[in-house]
Structure 1
């Protein structure tokens, strides 16, 4: 949820959060040592079958938000001028090089030679300009909010694109790695809901809705061609069914493995299990504008009452996180000193605030598991807080919590990278309003030095944590299982994108 605070839409947030829900059962198990891949040579025409959880509702990534689309389409079907690695570092893609002016206002991109769309049409700078002008001017297009600071987009020649900003934006290049930065053919009439015309290393072969999406290698690809002939994404929303499909040989790779089921795969000796880092923030939201959560003593007590390490162990999800910025994002700092487990201190704070006994309601989307809520109920009972868990359908959560801010506590997994802006936006559903945080965040975005920008974010994040604006229960991780025949499958950040061009599968 990285959109501008003033232009964020409820619809885009809804789909992003829904995508987050199915990854709630990520794991914290240490990564298994990779086993040697099979000695058989890689088969360039092999079919790789990957088990995923959440199927897209359509394929129109220009107008539809959600991790389900980005996960399979970005870098595989569609490309931008730049992309990001698994570690969230920015690197060139359709652009062979780029330069940023000293004042941070002008970005010059040089396009790679020989790029074609899947219909055979050569890519030129005019396609980039048209794509980005649409993003800048059409509010229905994903990334429109992030392009609010774009002053002009020009094509000095067929291989050059120049973008000028109204003010420096530290996140602009990162914005271009997402849907906002994807390049589409100028004037294309392709039905993007059901078809595609990208520039990536794969083409869409077929989509059996409710079942699977199949990609074929694009042999006219401008760069290094994919090392696999075909990819089949099998959508299996049930975690047990996914493990069974891996065990019976249907899948070569299973993502988002339930940690409670991983031993079934490990015990066979046929699978390598990896643990990938993410920017998923399991957030216990406090309604900062509603009593008694408007009292910082109550918010602090609620954080001190939670045994975060025990919670991580119980839920099998990632690592502890005591602030709003995860390890993969700029500005991360270990803030465990701010809210260590201390139920005695929690009880004292509640008494000082006049709430030795307190009744609160936790509103949580129904697609999440029950473990986190059960741990919270137990921990809070120990300090005199009775927690009622209210499980609701996602549209209800969106209406009541996100839109109307009608809640006390809520739980949701915020998956988007670099979304600290939520705490610099007093209108966001957290209801957190701090002028110093807003100032520091604004300065971090206009600061042209990345290190100085990260330091500003770090200061702002500490203030947010010390104000106990929310509680961050854990930073999620993703368990992936693959057979010995598979090599090069991505590990980190795969709930937001899976670049498959370098994956190989050895011959049977």
Structure 2
């Protein structure tokens, strides 16, 4: 990519340490000592404790968006007809097989037998139809926009579901791997904000708000039963506290390890560290309709002012990214030539726009730490832009930035795969409205050939980057630490979901 081989090798061998208050990464060059191994057998009565950063505000995945819900509930508690592998490939789940008509308009799914909900009721095609009809007709349900092209959802028999579309939709199968594709019991009165009734390999045992969520193995699961007896998701929003929890044995697995702290885990010799690929787009959002960011010259200047390679080194993990589509998604293209690091050109553009001196505010969720904001403050100051950082709790970010579009600049990790549609939606919080991009995106979804669809997305993504609708600071990597007795814990894409069905833990 855009980092030198030496930089990449050093980063993958051992993540460096960020000196207190400094922005320059001091990279370690030696490989970490390997974690001790164990030859013990998986313990069917084991409890696995997983450290996570972001706790859901409620458990209603039907009506609440956000990666915090998908991360723990999809695949573990709830399932859809289809599922998603770590590298974003589609695979069957509640459906044993599926068929798509040659014209791309009719999808036929055959259901796996003997599937039950956690209350013991058998799942049939009637539950699938009811679930998907709700998605289609209720605008408050997650996935509703993805079902606008659905004309009919029928059940020829108890084990078959047919879905008809008005026009082809290249992303329809993939959309079924998301919240909109989950299957719920028909007529169920469960309060999904605090309880559940899914079909997955785990059940909800308890939720201690502000602390943890606990799952139990569902022993009547229709598929291969989970090996773990219990899973505890421990929510630790402070990255240093998370490392301390791992070191003192509070958690067996720590996700989203801060790269600047990972050496503490490596030096202990008690953990295995994995570096996983993601579709996480560390996005510097511009409010495209709010002055002075409604001026393309200002947006371009801000992007040119950022030393992206140095920022990636400061963050300590990931790769540079100069467009809205990451490498794991269809339509990726290296767009680095559009915004080379050029502070002089940035100052020239700001002067042309009448903003030789400019004050801007960056609104950022408080749990993201300080590194990105510090780099931006430093880089922007060199071109005459003073950046004030407004740190807010995540619910406030959702209300002010995401919902009310009340911001100038913002920073957040967009972890959802194949989410380019955000830039084809003028109502999204970016407030970016380009009819040509919207048309190309529409064409890409109508195209039956996956490669031709990806080519259309590539064209649209280039336009978005040329418009400087946002800046993509980096494509995130996910660092995970676990004790040697844990096997099978997912490595890639775990910021969007953590499938624990195949995870094992040996007896202590």
TM-score w.r.t. length of structure 2:
0.89
Cα deviation, 1:306-330, whole Å, max 9, x if unaligned, reads 1001111112342211001112211
Structure 1 residue 456, shift from structure 2 partner: 0.5
**Alpha carbons 2:307, 2:379 under 8 Å: kept:** yes
Inter-partner Cα distance in structure 2 for 1:193 and 1:386: 42
**Alpha carbons 1:32, 1:275 under 8 Å: kept:** no
Instruction: Please state whether the residue corresponding to 1:310 is helix, strand or coil.
Output: helix
Alignment of 1:1-16 (within 5 A): none
Instruction: Please state whether the residue corresponding to 1:174 is helix, strand or coil.
Output: helix
Structure 1 residue 352, shift from structure 2 partner: 4.0
CA gap 1:287/1:189 in 2 versus in 1, 3 angstroms? closer
358-367 vs 217-226, which moves further: 358-367
CA gap 1:82/1:349 in 2 versus in 1, 3 angstroms? same
Structure 1 residue 383, shift from structure 2 partner: 2.3
Alignment of 1:224-303 (within 5 A): 224-303=224-303
The corresponding residue for 1:22 is none
Alignment of 1:103-502 (within 5 A): 103-392=103-392, 394=394, 397-398=397-398, 400-502=400-502
Inter-partner Cα distance in structure 2 for 1:62 and 1:467: 34
Inter-partner Cα distance in structure 1 for 2:162 and 2:183: 14
Instruction: Please state whether the residue corresponding to 2:337 is helix, strand or coil.
Output: coil
316-325 vs 191-200, which moves further: 191-200
Instruction: Please state whether the residue corresponding to 1:71 is helix, strand or coil.
Output: helix
The corresponding residue for 2:87 is 87
**Alpha carbons 1:119, 1:197 under 8 Å: kept:** yes
Inter-partner Cα distance in structure 1 for 2:384 and 2:206: 56
Inter-partner Cα distance in structure 2 for 1:355 and 1:210: 44
The answer for unaligned runs of 5 or more in structure 2 is 1-26
Inter-partner Cα distance in structure 1 for 2:138 and 2:360: 42
CA gap 1:33/1:147 in 2 versus in 1, 3 angstroms? farther
466-475 vs 339-348, which moves further: 339-348
**Alpha carbons 1:116, 1:222 under 8 Å: kept:** yes
**Alpha carbons 2:135, 2:143 under 8 Å: kept:** yes
User: Larger RCO: Structure 1 or Structure 2 (Cα < 8 Å, ≥ 6 residues apart)?
Assistant: 1
Cα deviation, 1:57-112, whole Å, max 9, x if unaligned, reads 33222222222221111111111000101111110000010011111111100001
Inter-partner Cα distance in structure 1 for 2:353 and 2:179: 46
CA gap 1:365/1:244 in 2 versus in 1, 3 angstroms? closer
Inter-partner Cα distance in structure 1 for 2:234 and 2:403: 34
Inter-partner Cα distance in structure 2 for 1:143 and 1:394: 22
Structure 1 residue 353, shift from structure 2 partner: 3.9
Instruction: Please state whether the residue corresponding to 2:302 is helix, strand or coil.
Output: helix
Structure 1 residue 119, shift from structure 2 partner: 2.1
407-416 vs 100-109, which moves further: 407-416
Inter-partner Cα distance in structure 1 for 2:72 and 2:420: 25
Inter-partner Cα distance in structure 2 for 1:50 and 1:268: 19
Inter-partner Cα distance in structure 2 for 1:70 and 1:464: 28
Structure 1 residue 487, shift from structure 2 partner: 0.6
